[in-house]
């Protein structure tokens, strides 16, 4: 039986450190037991989604969002994915059932959620080289990007429900971490958003060393590349899945802005410099590949954080956000070169990004 969540409020920093010390001494961390966070291109058992229902996430433009989810589900199934969807509440479940309930390889679960950004609210799934070991996941605390969008208690409980549904062992951790704040190559190196993890609104009193220790013990990230900066309009304090992503163990695509008058130009130049001096877990320099930025998109007078880096790697495809922009084609061609065995599938994202995220933000992969 999966135990109920045990933390509803942040623990004092010293209690968090003591929690980790005890887990390490007991040999009960994922790292000690041989688990790791696999790269996104590793084979998936399924992709998890939360069905959209919070109209305030797309103020004035929610109409059509559920249909976009249905389009994504169809693309994922065509790409060899099983799709599991959290759709709690009668009206939410009924809508999801009407749009995707009859699709093969799609399963709906009546689990309530506060919002649709399961990359951040959901668990991080782990893999193990020994198939006899039970599958596992990490249940981080979630507080809606530093308390920006309450309520979030139902979203914070998502990993608990998924562990119960899947039978995965659940490693519950008393720190806040959103899935969009970390990207890994599956071999021990991770790109991590310093501003997110160290924000006082997320992990007050904890240091970079404290958080590095949790990443090492719970995701098996031995080598951390800390990055900073965020796009105009971003509300996450700088998630890496808008900025830079591994596409193979040594290659990273990096968002690139060519217009020096654009506010994102300096941010992305600094990001490139950070990554240019970085290396992988064996000390080898990374290969950086620029991924263009679309032209600025404003909705209701607000600039949104549109980025092609927010793609999702499915089993046989790469789901690319398309912004009806001339750079759509170059972004697709770049990813096609980097993923020759996967089809690049552009899906419309101008309306989606009004929610301040795209396809990576609304998906979470479960490895085999």
Residue 57: DSSP 8-state: G
Catalytic residue among 106, 196, 279, 361: 361
Let me know: does 243 contact 254? Beta carbons within 8 Å: yes
The total number of residues written for the chain in this structure: 368
- Closest-CA residue to 155 (of 170, 140, 137): 140
339: left (phi over 0), alpha (psi -120 to 50) or beta: beta
Calpha distance 334→344 (Å, rounded): 10
Calpha distance 319→311 (Å, rounded): 6
Calpha distance 271→98 (Å, rounded): 43
Let me know: does 117 contact 50? Beta carbons within 8 Å: yes
* Active-site residue, 361 included: yes
Residue 146: DSSP 8-state: H
Give me the numbers of helices (H) and strands (E) for the chain, helices first please. 12, 18
Name the E strands within the chain: 44-50, 83-86, 106-109, 124-126, 136-141, 169-176, 182-184, 189-193, 223-227, 244-248, 251-256, 287-292, 298-299, 302-303, 312-313, 317-322, 343-348, 364-367
Q: Where are the alpha helices (DSSP H) in 10-64?
A: 13-25, 30-33
Structure tokens at 221: 């990230």
Calpha distance 126→219 (Å, rounded): 8
Which residues share a beta bridge with 182? 192
Calpha distance 72→342 (Å, rounded): 16
**Residues recognised as catalytic:** 361
């Amino acid at each position: 039986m999966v135990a109920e969540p045990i933390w509803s409020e942040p623990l004092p920093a010293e209690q968090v450190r003591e929690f980790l010390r005890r887990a390490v001494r007991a040999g009960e961390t994922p790292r000690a037991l041989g688990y790791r966070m696999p790269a996104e291109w590793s084979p998936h058992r399924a992709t998890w989604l939360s069905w959209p229902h919070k109209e305030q996430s797309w103020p004035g433009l929610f109409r059509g969002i559920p249909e976009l989810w249905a389009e994504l589900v169809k693309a994922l199934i065509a790409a060899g994915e099983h799709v599991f969807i959290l759709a709690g509440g009668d009206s939410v479940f009924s809508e999801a059932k009407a749009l995707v309930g009859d699709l093969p390889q799609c399963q709906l679960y009546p689990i309530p959620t506060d919002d649709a950004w399961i990359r951040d609210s959901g668990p991080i799934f782990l893999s193990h080289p020994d198939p006899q070991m039970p599958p596992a996941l990490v249940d981080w605390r979630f507080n809606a990007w530093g308390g920006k969008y309450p309520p979030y208690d139902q979203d914070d409980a998502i990993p608990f429900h998924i562990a119960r549904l899947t039978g995965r062992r659940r490693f519950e951790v008393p720190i806040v971490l959103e899935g969009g704040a970390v990207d890994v190559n599956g071999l021990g190196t991770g790109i991590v958003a310093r501003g997110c993890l160290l924000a006082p609104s997320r992990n007050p009193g904890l240091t970079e060393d404290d958080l590095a220790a949790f990443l090492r013990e719970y995701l098996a990230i031995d080598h951390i590349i800390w990055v900073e900066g965020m796009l105009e309009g971003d509300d996450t304090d700088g998630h890496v899945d808008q900025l830079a992503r591994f596409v193979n163990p040594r290659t990273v695509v990096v968002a690139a802005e060519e217009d020096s008058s654009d506010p994102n130009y300096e941010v992305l130049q600094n990001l490139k410099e950070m990554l240019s001096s970085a290396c992988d877990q064996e000390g080898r320099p990374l290969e950086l590949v620029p991924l263009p930025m679309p032209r600025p998109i404003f909705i209701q007078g607000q600039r949104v954080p549109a980025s092609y880096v927010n793609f999702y790697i499915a089993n046989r495809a790469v789901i690319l956000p398309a912004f009806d922009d001339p750079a759509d084609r170059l972004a697709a061609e770049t990813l096609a070169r980097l993923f020759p065995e996967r089809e690049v599938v552009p899906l419309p994202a101008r309306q989606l990004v009004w929610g301040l995220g795209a396809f990576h933000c609304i998906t979470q992969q479960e490895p085999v």
